[in-house]
Chains A and B, each alone.
Chain A
Amino acid sequence: MNPTDLANQATAQAQNALRLAEQARQIAATAGAHVEPVLAAADPFLFLLTIFLLACFVGYYVVWNVTPALHSPLMGVTNAISSVIVVGAILATGLGESTAAKVFGFLAAMLAAVNIFGGFIVTRRMLAMFQPKKRG
Chain B
Amino acid sequence: MSATFSTLAYLVAAVLFILALRGLSHPETSRQGNLYGMVGMAIAIVATLLRPGMSFGGIGLIVVALAIGGGVGSYIATRIQMTALPQLVAAFHSLVGMAAVLVAAAAFYNPESFGIGHAGAIHGGSLVEMSLGLAIGAITFSGSVIAFAKLQALMSGAPITFKGQHWLNLGLGLLLLVLIVSFVSSGNDALFWAIALLAFALGFLLIIPIGGADMPVVVSMLNSYSGWAAAGIGFTLQNLLLIITGALVGASGAILSYIMCKGMNRSIINVLLGGFGTDSGAAGAAAGAGGDRGPVKAGSPEDAAFIMKNAGKVIVVPGYGMAVAQAQQVLREMGDLLKKDGVQVEYAIHPVAGRMPGHMNVLLAEANVPYDDVKELEEINPEFAEADVAYVIGANDVTNPAAKTDKASPIYGMPILDVERAKTVFFVKRGMSSGYAGVDNELFFRPNTMMLFGDAKKVTQEIVQALQK
Contacts and interface: CB of A to CB of B under 8 A. Distances in A.
A108 B61 contact: no
Interface stretch (B48-56, B176-184, B308-316, B380-388): B48-56
Interface stretch (B91-99, B288-296, B422-430): B91-99
B370 A88 contact: no
Question: Chain B contact residues: over half helix, strand or loop, or mixed?
Answer: helix
A117 B77 contact: yes
Interface string B245-261: 11111111101100100
Contacts, number: 390
Interface in B249-301: 249-253, 255-256, 259
B238 A85 contact: no
A44 B376 CA distance: 45
Question: Chain A contact residues: over half helix, strand or loop, or mixed?
Answer: helix
Contacts of B324: none
A65 interface: yes
Nearest to A118: B73
A112 B368 CA distance: 32
B24 interface: yes
Interface string A70-93: 111111111111111111111111
B358 A85 contact: no
Contact of A59 (B31, B99, B251, B362): B251
Most buried by B among A80, A88, A105: A88
A105 B106 contact: yes
Contact of A78 (B41, B110, B227): B227
Contact of B77 (A62, A95, A122): A122
Most buried by B among A84, A86, A124: A84
26 contacts: A43-B125, A59-B248, A60-B255, A63-B255, A64-B255, A69-B349, A72-B358, A75-B358, A77-B33, A79-B96, A83-B95, A86-B66, A88-B107, A89-B103, A90-B45, A90-B48, A94-B51, A94-B53, A97-B113, A100-B110, A102-B61, A109-B62, A120-B38, A121-B77, A129-B365, A130-B30
Given A117-B71, A126-B85, 16 more contacts: A58-B18, A59-B247, A62-B22, A82-B229, A84-B242, A89-B106, A91-B113, A93-B61, A94-B55, A102-B61, A104-B103, A104-B106, A109-B65, A115-B69, A123-B37, A127-B30
Interface of B: 10, 13-14, 17-18, 20-22, 24-28, 30-31, 33-34, 37-38, 40-41, 44-45, 48-49, 51, 53-55, 58-59, 61-62, 64-74, 76-78, 80, 82, 85, 88-89, 92-93, 95-96, 98-100, 102-103, 105-107, 109-110, 112-114, 119, 125, 219-220, 223, 226-227, 229-231, 233-235, 237-253, 255-256, 259, 349, 351, 356-359, 361-362, 365-366, 368, 370-374, 376
